[in-house]
Amino acid sequence: MNVVPDTSVVIDGRVAAAIEDGQFEGATISVPEAVVAELEAQANDGHDSGWDGLSELKRLADLADEGVISLEYVGERPDAIERGHASEGEIDALIRDLAEELDATFVTSDIVQAEVAQAKGLDVEYVSPEVREVGTLALEEYFDDLTMSVHLKTDTVPMAKRGELGEMRYVEIADEPLSEAEVDELAREVVDGAKEATGGFIELSEPGMKIVQFRDYRIAIARPPFSDGIEITAVRPIAQTDMEDYEHADELKERLLERQRGVLISGSPGAGKSTFAQAVARYLSDHDYAVKTMEKPRDLQVGPEITQYTELGGQMEKTADALLMVRPDYTIYDEVRKTNDFEVFADMRLAGVGMIGVVHATRPIDALQRLIGRVELGMIPQVVDTVVYIDAGEVAKVYDVKTEVKVPAGLTEEDLARPVIQVTEFETGVPEYEIYTFNRQVVTVPLKDEEGGPGSESGVDRIAKGEIEREIRSIARGYVDVELKSQDRAVVYVDEDDISTVIGKGGGRITDVENRLGIDIDVRTHEENPHHGTSGGEAPSRSSSGGGQPAGQIVTPEITSRHIVIPLDSHHGETVEVQAAGDYLFTATVSRGGEIQVSRGSAIADELERAIDRKDPVTVVPS
């Protein structure tokens, strides 16, 4: 008897099983080279199916060595063109042709292959794919009631995040590290279980990385060369909540049912954002709204009535197009992270779909800040009208977002009125931030002292002071100091030689500055400054390099397609001046990441680019 197996039945391991059961005992097993080529390609790409098939070939070789069967490899290895058309049936056709030439029994567990072979008159042995009942994975033994995630890696002691929401601890959960063989066995069991179990599927399969959904567990498996060792990270929800469990529940429920909304659910990793999003999804579904999700990977725990979508053809834009045809009332987008995600979110919201996005943010306002530059400023309230900040599993803050044409807080002139995004505390109705364009730059201004310390400047004061300094330094040659007396009045101290230049003929120059900024400015000499000669008001020492400005750290700006980035190794979170060849350019606050970003196209960016083109030394000086 001559037997020709195809790739599917070799991967399933059913040929050796049939031989051991006596079905093909004494037969000649003719393995097509096309099968070997497919398995080799799959194994090289990191797919478990390739390794499973190669293991089956080893078993057949062992059975041949024992004299149970004869084993031979037949046919030609397919060329690159034939392998490239494997999905179109080219490899399957080569294998069937070999079975016909050898007058052999063709063995397959692919129903399509079996039907085609029978239609061509071959002797076919169809073996149903083996389905086994998947019980508990060995990985699940590492979980208890308070475990949110388990982290396993080659030659490392197993770790887990355990505890109540907001009080998670990363702790060791075993005494000895796991060997590579142990981690590999756990990983293979996860993949096999996902293929065979109801409620299991492989979400992502790339060389070096698989993401598996197995019942309530989302499991990421990384392998070299993508990672430096085999690593398994398994996560599961440890809490399921209802809207009634949260503060402000009644107001939020009424708000969500009133009309379709644009909502951002924000918070730090592990704060409970997804748990809250699940509660919102169930609440909306229970109140007769059609709810869908957009996720990569899909890990929200929702009922079967809520369909969970992932990327269509590798692109969330295509998923959005499909959803617009489905016409949901609300879509849960988990997670909104990259620029493309924000653009898709905004596009669907402006199309009239209620959108609820899950966003990483360390402060409530940061969720809105992430929209700036990705969505046109004036459209932000139409895209997002509600921000919910989750901390330690609780609703810690809710913001209402709307646009109003007004004079920004801290300015007084009526002709300075502009569209202002007001970010209001939902419970009290008190505005906490304003976002608007000021001198061609988008600024987010806190309306109350964020530091909480006595005498510290508000956000409005810092911006106003910086803009006054910028205007006066563009006129004066010497050192400039600014003191804010109130929201609409400031005193500027300059060198005596600069007084007439700053004031201008008949006061015309300083009047122009006052009109632009909406602030009354009194110009005085440094000697008139009550703090003159003290650490609070004394002019900094002059740079020996000239220019009449304080010396600072020399930096090398980097120009990208959208920004000019100034990297710094100090002054994180501080307000600094940026100068070129000793001339003042602008005042800015250094980010926590240690850089200043200026949007290209703004007046400040244009000045900075011209300085860079002139090869002027750019320096940063503490303000």
Task: Confirm whether 346 is domain-assigned.
Answer: yes
Same domain flag for 23 and 74: yes
- CATH value at residue 403: 3.40.50.300
What is the domain extent for residue 161?
A: 138-235
d(CA 143, CA 237): 11
Mean pLDDT over 543-550 rounds to 40
Task: Confirm whether 18 is domain-assigned.
Answer: yes
| Whether the predicted pLDDT of 535 surpasses 70 | no
Same domain flag for 64 and 22: yes
In 3-state terms, what secondary structure has residue 161?
Answer: strand
Q: At what angle do helices 33-44 and 90-101 cross, to 10 degrees?
A: 150
| Whether the Cβ atoms of residue 470 and residue 584 lie closer than 8 Å to each other | yes
Over the stretch 285-329, which tens digit does the pLDDT of each residue have?
Answer: 999 999 999 988 777 878 888 998 988 888 899 999 999 888 899
For residue 550, the model assigns a pLDDT of: 43
| Short-list 558, 602, 613, 623, CA closest to 580 | 613
| Whether the predicted pLDDT of 451 surpasses 50 | no
Same domain flag for 297 and 319: yes
Task: Confirm whether 511 is domain-assigned.
Answer: yes
| Whether the predicted pLDDT of 544 surpasses 90 | no
Q: Which of 495, 512, 539 is the last residue of a domain?
A: 539
Same domain flag for 512 and 572: no
Over the stretch 220-244, which tens digit does the pLDDT of each residue have?
Answer: 999 988 899 999 999 887 667 788 8
Same domain flag for 405 and 552: no
Same domain flag for 373 and 247: yes
Q: Which of 13-17, 45-49, 257-261, 358-362 has the lowest average pLDDT?
A: 45-49
| Whether the predicted pLDDT of 463 surpasses 70 | no
d(CA 98, CA 3): 11
Q: How many CA atoms lie within 13 A of 227 on its CB side?
A: 17
Task: Confirm whether 131 is domain-assigned.
Answer: no
Average pLDDT across the chain, whole number: 82
- CATH value at residue 6: 3.40.50.1010
412 DSSP assignment? -
For residue 569, the model assigns a pLDDT of: 79
- The structural domain count of the chain equals 5
Over the stretch 261-282, which tens digit does the pLDDT of each residue have?
Answer: 999 999 887 788 888 999 999 9
Q: Which two tokens stand for residue 590?
A: 């250094």
Q: Which of 179, 208, 235 is the last residue of a domain?
A: 235
Same domain flag for 255 and 387: yes
| Whether the predicted pLDDT of 573 surpasses 50 | yes
Most confident range, picked from 180-194, 413-427, 538-552: 180-194
351 DSSP assignment? T
Q: Which of 414, 446, 478 is the last residue of a domain?
A: 446
pTM above 0.95, yes or no: no
Cα 8–chain centre separation: 37
Q: Which two tokens stand for residue 328?
A: 């949901």
